[in-house]
Chains A and B, each alone.
Chain A
Amino acid sequence: MQNKITVETLNAWFGTNHALKNINLSFQENRITAIIGPSGCGKSTFIRCLNRMHEVVRGAKVSGKVLVDGKDIYERDIDPVDIRRCIGMVFQKPNPFPTMSIYDNVAAGLKLNGMKDKKILDKTVEESLKKAALWDEVKNDLNKSGVSLSGGQQQRLCIARALAVEPEIILFDEPCSALDPISTSRIEDLMIELKEKYTIVIVTHNMQQAARVSDYTAFFLYGELIEFGETNQIFKKPKEKSTEDYIVGRFG
């Protein structure tokens, strides 16, 4: 198994607030890596550094390297727009584009980057919705508004939208925190299916979720990486005292 992403001495700031401190971490191809930790520990900031979304926030700064297939995405001549095309992201709250139909939501990434071929668009929309396990529910309503769907369906629509631009890596930023248990379990099943083809990083507040879906787990605290290892090991035999305290619920 190969390292898809390697993070080297990554530091991130919001203004003067040092949000991430010297993070070194690797993500393996076709595996799900979960990032856990209490609120404010920098886990969301961390995955936003992986597709250069951190710098979208005013006053945000990054230093260090993020190597994807050996190439640093923070190198000078690299356009963040290209990076975001090959590293998709699904957010905490489902955020389909409210003025677009289901079809257009999925096609948005391609259409707005110049794809006009109707056949390719149709095919991509169908395939992406199928991969996101939403096709059967919406195939007759492709022209309905994306926001007319339920919360869980909207989140799968957002996953389909991210898949449509054919990324190699998908980042999930607490994708289930706004969803009910049934929708949550559908998204979890979906992630496990998707790891066949994609490298997945998921930030989660929910430790059971990390234990259920992930192969590897990283525990963050106060902007530092405390422990990283196979999910089994982290949950059964954590090496660090603070990891154990967090997992058994002594804080966080």
Chain B
Amino acid sequence: MKWNRRKLIDRIMSFLTAACVVVAIIPLLSILYTVTINGISAINLDFLTQLPKPEGEVGGGLGNAIQGTFIVVGIACLIGLPVGILAGVYLSEYGENRFGRMVSFVADVLAGTPSIAAGIFGYTFIVLYFGFSAIAGGAALSVLMIPIVARTTEESLRLVSGSLREASLALGIPRWKTILHIVLSTAMSGIITGALLAIARVSGETAPLLLTAFGNPYWAAGINKPISTMPVQIYTYAIAPFPDWHAKAWGGALVLIILVLILNIGVRFITRKKY
């Protein structure tokens, strides 16, 4: 009797956890489905390579926005990844003190900050002095990346067992080389996951870019000039009253999702475990 009850509860709980997985996946699949259905028809070679056309003209695409997104996200990575990863190394390896705990806490708060705040930051500290630019956009996005990268790096470094650090130190390997060659390489897959999450997150950010990179109907003219980006271009297409532009907005969303997916798979492939 008792045994049956235990088995029943086991079944119910297993079912509940499986049901929650389904609930969690439904919105994701539904987004992918809707975006694909609505966006696939807009995608063709012109869409990926042409400049946007003025209102009322047929055709055109978001080639410049794709280019701009690569540039802005690239700048964000150049600033955000080194700072984030090194901050994570500090927090995990040297941060067992008040300052470290404070930085951890601030990073958690920052990670939950609305992204428009990063835009205001970029606007106040860069745009007001140097004007709208790709650099301002990248800097604003890096503000969003740093806390994510720092915290995931910290967490993955903490998972590396202390016995590996000791093994390395006991070989007469200095601490900094131990961290660089043993601890970081053991935690690499976690750090990469964090970096990818951060890149994926900022690739789709619109609000901070409206205030910093601004937008530009032409090809990139330099990193100190306003630049077109996919989220902003999608936004422009989406709020316009033309059905043709709406289709382009869906297409742009699909391209953005595919790009993030390719990046994910590509990085995983390059850094896959050797053994």
Contact = CB atoms under 8 A, between A and B. Distances in A.
A110 B22 CA distance: 52
Contacts of A98: 164, 186
Interface string B147-185: 000000000000001011111111111100100011001
A77 interface: no
Band of interface residues on A: 20 to 34
A148 interface: yes
Contacts, number: 75
A60 to B, nearest CB: 13
Band of interface residues on B: 20 to 34
A109 B174 CA distance: 10
Interface stretch (A27-35, A81-89, A130-138, A198-206): A81-89
Contact of A84 (B165, B170, B177): B170
B166 A161 contact: no
B169 A84 contact: yes
15 contacts: A53-B170, A56-B165, A81-B174, A84-B172, A85-B172, A91-B163, A95-B164, A95-B166, A97-B164, A97-B167, A99-B186, A113-B173, A144-B275, A158-B167, A162-B170
Interface centre among A86, A95, A99, A109 (most CB of B within 10 A): A99
Majority secondary structure of chain B interface residues (helix, strand, loop or mixed): helix
Counting from the closest, the 7 A-B pairs by CB-CB distance are A85-B172, A145-B275, A109-B171, A89-B170, A84-B172, A95-B163, A95-B167
A112 interface: yes
A58 B173 contact: no
A96 B181 CA distance: 14
B275 A147 contact: yes
A93 interface: yes
A176 interface: no
B83 interface: no
B96 interface: yes
